[in-house]
Chain A
Amino acid sequence: MKEDFVNIITENQGIIHKVCSIYCDNEEDRKDLFQEILAQLWKSYASFRSESKFSTWMYRVALNTAITSFKRGKRQPDRTNLPEGNIQIPDEGYDMETEEQIKHLYKAISKLTGIEKSIILLYLENHPYEEIAEITGITQNYVRVKMNRIKKKLKKLMNVKD
Chain B
Amino acid sequence: MELEDLRSVWQQASDREAGKKALDAEQIKNLLGKQTRSIVDKIDLNIKISFGLIFAMIVYFFLEQYILTPQFSTFVPVEIPKWVSVSNAVSYVLVIAVFIYFWTCYRKIDTKSISTKNLKESLISLLKALHIFNKLFYFTLAIVLLLIGITFTAGMYLGIEYNMQEMEMELSTGKVLLMVGLGLAALSFFLWVFYSLYKWIFNRLYGRYLVQLEDTLKELNETE
Shortest distance from the beta carbon of B156 to any chain A beta carbon, whole Å: 43
Shortest distance from the beta carbon of B81 to any chain A beta carbon, whole Å: 49
Q: Does the CB pair B120–A126 fall under 8 Å?
A: no
Q: A154–B1 Cα gap in the complex (Å)?
A: 12
In the complex, A64 has a CB within 8 A of chain B: yes
Nearest chain A residue, comparing its CB with the CB of B224: A142
11 further interface pairs, Cβ-Cβ under 8 Å (given A60-B118, A124-B14): A38-B36, A47-B116, A63-B119, A64-B115, A64-B122, A67-B216, A69-B38, A70-B42, A101-B9, A113-B216, A115-B119
Q: Does the CB pair B114–A9 fall under 8 Å?
A: no
Shortest distance from the beta carbon of B150 to any chain A beta carbon, whole Å: 38
Q: Does the CB pair B38–A65 fall under 8 Å?
A: yes
Q: Does the CB pair B113–A35 fall under 8 Å?
A: no
- Contact residues of B with A, CB < 8 Å? 1, 3, 6-7, 9-25, 28-29, 31-32, 34, 36, 38-40, 42, 112-123, 126, 205, 208-209, 212-213, 215-216, 219-220, 222-224
Nearest chain A residue, comparing its CB with the CB of B23: A13
Contacts of A123 in B (CB 8 A): 7
In the complex, A10 has a CB within 8 A of chain B: yes
Q: Does the CB pair A17–B216 fall under 8 Å?
A: no
Q: Give the interface SS of chain A, mostly helix, strand, loop or mixed.
A: helix
In the complex, A156 has a CB within 8 A of chain B: no
Of the candidates A57, A102, A126, the one whose C-beta lies within 8 Å of that of B116 is: A57
Q: Does the CB pair B39–A14 fall under 8 Å?
A: no
Question: Which 7 A-B pairs give the minimum distances between C-beta atoms?
Answer: A137-B120, A137-B118, A17-B18, A39-B36, A14-B18, A70-B39, A89-B13
In the complex, A29 has a CB within 8 A of chain B: no
Q: Does the CB pair B18–A18 fall under 8 Å?
A: yes
Beyond A10-B24, A76-B212, A135-B119, is A69–B13 a contact (Cβ under 8 Å)?
no
Nearest chain B residue, comparing its CB with the CB of A16: B18
Q: Does the CB pair A77–B32 fall under 8 Å?
A: no
